[in-house]
Structure 1
Amino acid sequence: MSNQTILWGMLLLPWLTLFLMPKEDIKRWMPAALFVIATNTIIIDAGVTLKLWEIRENIYPFSEMISYVYGALPVGAMWILKYTYGRFLLYAAAQIMGSLVLIFLVQPVLHRREIFVWLNQDMFSGMGAFIITAIHLIIVYSYQMWQEDVFVRSK
């Protein structure tokens, strides 16, 4: 399988799963998905700037961004929120499991294929990525709580 096939698959296939989610749920969780895109864009770009990693292959029009930031991560966040929102520990467990898969299974494959390459693994190992992910999941959950509060007051 080519790198381009993998990259396009990480972008497009997750969005196709939303045909299985009710329209009301998509509307409810989409703000969190957009927040995940924005915050992960900052995280990835900061890592590139700090020379922690490089994006050596991407898809047009992205230059320094890996496609799962716009596909798998936001859609995965929507599905996890759909089934766990209101039960933070279950949400955290699901997000941690997803993060472990990404950090210790997906990213090493991308590294071997020279798509997403860690430059300084001593300085920023998988555990460092896991810590950032743990902080990020708390921020995303807090954002969704804030969004829920905004929608409740507006009705």
Structure 2
Amino acid sequence: MSNQVILWSLTILPWLTLFFMPKDARKRFMPVAQFSIITSILFIEMGQTFGWFVWEEAAYPLKSPSYIFGSNTVATIWLFYFLYGRFWTYLAVDTVLNFGFIYLFHVYYLGNRGIFHEVSLDPLLNVIYAIIIGILLYGYQMWQEGIFASTEAKSTSHVTNLQPAATKPLPESHKDNDDK
């Protein structure tokens, strides 16, 4: 199988799994997945600039590793779907997934296919960076949850009967007033 087919498969196929997730959960965790894309691209840009690793091939016409837009994003959504609200469990599972991803996928699989090579970054340090990014993502999701706080809280306003003009009922004389 060609590297391009593998790279595009890692980008497109994971999105199909989201059909098995409730729509509300996809909407809830999409912002943290987008933040995951941003932090991952920033880390890759730094890694390439500082010579930590080299990406020999990317899914044409992209320059960044395409799995960031597919499998990485979707894995983030699923991870938060199952584990958000249980930080220590999230951290443990994220750490195990990071070890597997860095050592098995990056170093072994992509390295053997000539797609990715670590130059001056030890895989263990790469895992530590990934764990730090995972903690940032969890903090971001906590912040997002605060933004979408329920509106059922009682108003602190002393004048609760005020309504916008658009919600006031029309007087009886204006009801059923058609242009005749």
Identify the TM-score tier after normalising by the shorter chain.
over 0.9
State the TM-score, normalized to the length of structure 1: 0.93
Identity over the aligned pairs, expressed in percent? Answer: 39
Q: Which has the higher contact order (CA 8 A, sep 6+)?
A: 1
Matched, 1:130 2:137: no
Partner of 1:104: 103
Partner of 2:178: none
Specify the SS of the correspondent of 2:59.
Answer: coil
The structure with the largest helix share of the pair is 1
Partners of 2:49 and 2:18 in 1: how far apart? 33
1:76 maps to amino acid: A
Runs of 4+ in 1 over 3 A off after TM superposition: none
| Aligned-residue offset at 1:61 | 2.6
State the TM-score, normalized to the length of structure 2: 0.80
Instruction: Quote the RMSD (CA, aligned, Å).
Output: 1.2
1:5-154 to structure 2, matched below 5 A, reads: 5-63=5-63, 65-108=64-107, 109-120=109-120, 124-152=121-149
Partners of 1:135 and 1:153 in 2: how far apart? 30
Q: Retained in 2: the 8 A contact 1:11–1:67?
A: yes
| Residues 1:153 and 1:102: Cα distance change in structure 2 (over 3 Å) | same
> Max radius of gyration: which structure?
2
Partners of 1:153 and 1:50 in 2: how far apart? 44
Partner of 2:171: none
Q: List gaps (5 residues or longer) in structure 1.
A: none
Q: List gaps (5 residues or longer) in structure 2.
A: 153-180
1:94 maps to amino acid: V
| Aligned-residue offset at 1:100 | 1.2
